[in-house]
Amino acid sequence: QVQLVESGGGSVQPGGSLRLSCAASGYTYNANCMGWFRQAPGKEREEVARIKEASDRDGSVTNYADSVKGRFTISQDNSAKNMVYLQMNSLKYEDTATYYCAAWYGISDISPPNYWGQGTQVTVSS
């Protein structure tokens, strides 16, 4: 059974930075795709970013929600593929949410993720 464990959440002032980490375990093959979602109180869960291997070249393909483009960067451990990170810079009040690591194992990333972490809280407050 795949397990995803997030870390790195916390409280930060507006304009500050945080780096979230997600460690995957219990798998026998790499995920097709990994990503980060977030859910703020009273709002639906939304996708923040995702990363997967490029099909036509070396390297990765990344996608970001418009609200975080230019501020957040998703990356992955290139050797082991079992770690994914979310570097969050220039944080805003509206980035406050519970952040969830997600993975697509054995399924297309056209579908919703089939594995989720337990979530880590990010609070942006002065």
Complete DSSP assignment for 20-56: EEEEEES-SS--SEEEEEEE-TTS--EEEEEEEE-SS
Task: Please write the tens of the pLDDT for every residue from 94-105.
Answer: 999 999 999 999
- Per the model's pLDDT, the better-predicted residue between 30 and 87 turns out to be 87
Quote the DSSP letter at residue 79.
T
* pLDDT the model gives residue 71: 98
- Identify the CA nearest to 95 among candidates 50, 51, 61, 46: 46
Say if residues 6 and 86 touch (Cβ distance below 8 Å).
Answer: no
| Choice among 14-18, 35-39, 74-78, 108-112 with the minimum mean pLDDT | 74-78
Alpha carbon distance 97, 88 (integer Å) = 13
Q: How confident is the model at residue 80 (pLDDT cuts 50, 70, 90)?
A: low
Task: Please write the tens of the pLDDT for every residue from 16-72.
Answer: 999 999 999 988 788 889 999 999 999 999 999 999 987 777 788 999 999 999 999
Residues with Cβ within 8 Å of residue 90, at least 6 apart in sequence: 15, 17, 71
Task: Please give the single-letter amino acid code of residue 111.
Answer: S
* pLDDT the model gives residue 90: 98
Cross-strand partners of 31:
none
Cβ neighbours of 4 (radius 10 Å): 24
Alpha carbon distance 47, 29 (integer Å) = 24
- For residue 73, pLDDT beyond 80: yes
